[in-house]
Structure 1
Amino acid sequence: MSGKTIRLMWGALLIYLAIGLVLVSGQPVETLYIEEGGVLRGFIFLPLSSEGVAEVNLPCSVPTVAVYPEKGVPTYTLSGSTLQIYGDPNTNVNVTFTCDLGNVSTISLTLQPINQKLNIYISQTYTVLGIYPTPDEISYKPGYVYLGFGNLSTSLQLELAETGLPGEGKPPAPSQATTPTNVPPKEDYTLWILVLALALAVIILGFLLTGRNKKAPETLVEEDQAIIDYLKSMGGKAYLKEIREALGLPSTTALRRIKRLESMGFVKTEKTPGGLLVVLLRK
């Protein structure tokens, strides 16, 4: 059995385990697998609101998705990388998708804040050049480097380089006389190197981006200021739906701008039975 086949089997097993854990916990979670050749496979567990609506920004543009409801028959709209799902209120849905990041030597991936748990499994054929923010957990799973985030509240930046594994798919050397039997397999060294390189990249990139963030002034675009002005006029708080309708913003744009303001400390958001409530912190 080839190494690639073994990795695919482990990947399938990890997906089934992730689905089982999510169904037990009932907590929203997103799990991504970055495979050899730039293939990204994703699994997202989403709770629908009391209005029976959920919206998520996928990490890439996909031609189609599969939506599996807890009950009922949901409908959904897919526009680029934005997915909106409509179904029975206060139920859960599972979303699966696959997209192509490009069969290139380097991959740059940016994820918007999702404010929920995120798991990323990176094929060992890749070397991590940089990542920000720092993962809560970095470990090695069979065939993958695992990055875990308990709650991704800021934009994620990930840089990868595909290097492949030395000797992938090749039989052992025909001569055994020159190969000591007590030498560990070369693949074991490669895996340790990948994990150590990842840890070093996280530390370096974290220092660089932290310094950059300290120097860069907070800049508000016109849409940001309009949201702040509207919140002031409403006494410091308003629902996302009210902001979107008052300013004439698309739902994805309004949510993205509010999440940016939240990351800058201008507002905070609260999930309420009436929807997402936005509270002004800095005037």
Structure 2
Amino acid sequence: MRKILCFLVILLGIGLLIRTEILGIPIKTTLKVYRDGYVFVNQTIIPLEVIVNTTLLGAPKFLLVLDEGGLPLGYRLNNSLLIVYCGDADRVIVSYYTANITSKEGALWRLSLNFTLINVEIILPKGATLVYSDPLPLKIQALNESLVLFYSESPLTIEYVLEINLNETTGTAGEKEEKPVGGENILQNPYLIIGTLFLVGLAALTLILVKNRRKDEFKFLTEEEKYILEFLRNRKRAFLSEIVKATDLPKTTLWRKIKKLEEMGYLRTTKTPHGLLIEYKHPF
């Protein structure tokens, strides 16, 4: 008698387990397709029990499981099987991104939905052209330059091609064509020619004045400072310790001269983990 009672308890437990963990079939599935092949999946499920199992359409990224009020629900993911702990939720909204239901061959994209679903809505990328659909959609709408396809059920397969952006592919050529036009406008405008020549002349005059000033400044440098500049001009850069050895000057004296040359624009100093690095700058 005790064995029979235990057997009945086990059967009752199995029955409760089967009752509380049932397969949840979405009452609506929306697929928003992006140009790179990723698909945003949004499914609404009515939970008949406190625990619902549903199969995901592909490997999920950024998976969210919410109730009708936007509150998160507990879940467990076992490969493609999603186990949701619904509690008192009246609706379960599952959303995620996946790249497993699209493929590309040349310019042709294909979306294959090999699952049994009802009320399927597919939003194609902007500018996409539908070239094949099996079965035919119940309805097609245009929404913000995108085609929206409605199906009563799946499995289904669609194929589409993306619009080629001519501005992106020929942008360089377009720029090359604009340059001669701009050049003709400048040549035809004498004021632009005069202004351009004035700016070029002003830049040349400034360069000459700077060179002359540099030459005058160079006359007043000491022999030690000239040697430091010559040393760095040949080396391009050197650490302070290397310049100390090359000049045989006290470190404080050398540092004072380097700061003077830096303020005059001949040198640039940089602190590094290996010490102070001194770089030679072209004086003009």
Same fold by TM-score, threshold 0.5 exceeded? no
TM-score by length of 2: 0.43
- Greater relative contact order (Cα < 8 A, sep 6+): 1
Structure ID, larger Rg: 2
Larger % of helix: which? 2
